[in-house]
Amino acid sequence: MAYHTATGEGVGVMFCPGYRSDMHSTKATALGEWCAVNNIPYTRFDYFGHGKSEGDFKDFTIGAAMMDALEILDSVATGDQILVGSSMGAWVALNAALERKGQVRGLVGVASAPDFTERLMYARFTPEQRREMSDNGLIWAHSEFTESDYPITQHFIEEARTHLLLDDIIGLEIPIHLLHGQADVDVPWETSLTLAERLMGDEVTLTLIKDGDHRLNRPDDLRLMMDALGRMVGT
């Protein structure tokens, strides 16, 4: 697994990328610069089949992403951590926080997309796509961000159903700050509202950016992310 880590003092920050993204995204690198300026330990990584990590993307699953995050938490980003998750990465970060409650001290979710495989992906499949997936075990989807097709396998959808969070109370009582753009056409901002309602703890803040899209990587968007993170680490 490919990763990058930098030393510092105090509570560390670990970044979980989004689906089909990697540790060299605008948010990931901006966080690295902010942590360096503030002398905060920082770790970022690529999931199986993503970025510079090994593996065939066709074999990628949500469970694999969650295991990767836990491995990085246990082996690289040791000590207390604040997790920052982008899109799918927020789903991964929430799971990691549930699995490592004594280590994860806070969480920032950016355009959080828990359960996106079921609520936003499978739910939007046409009858023809569902039939094709049933017959062939996968379909090919198109991304406007990369202008290339990518595979979505039946196994990816079915495996993700074992990790769904939004149907139950999420047993986390740590500071959590959610940021979501109301112009997000990929993951509706109501997803973060539902997530905030499901979280058990009281220290949950939701910030909506009226003109923000899914990426939330403009300078003002990044500043909001850093401000939320700064309050958690005490800078």
Give whole-number Cα distances, 162 to 49, 80, 118, 143, in Å. 20, 27, 11, 26
CB 181: neighbour CB atoms within 10 A? 24
Amino acid occupying residue 218: R
Q: Per the structure block, which two tokens stand in for 14?
A: 């670990």
CA separation for the pair 167, 226 (Å, rounded): 30
Give whole-number Cα distances, 143 to 21, 158, 186, in Å. 12, 21, 11
Rg (CA), the chain: 17
CA separation for the pair 100, 86 (Å, rounded): 19
Going by C-beta distance under 8 Å and a sequence separation of 6 or more, which residues neighbour residue 151?
Answer: 57, 58, 138, 139, 140, 141
Q: Per the structure block, which two tokens stand in for 163?
A: 């990790």
Task: Judge whether 47 and 65 are in contact, CB under 8 Å.
Answer: yes
Q: Looking at the annotation, which residues are catalytic?
A: 87, 184, 214
CA separation for the pair 93, 3 (Å, rounded): 16
Q: Per the structure block, which two tokens stand in for 206?
A: 């939701």
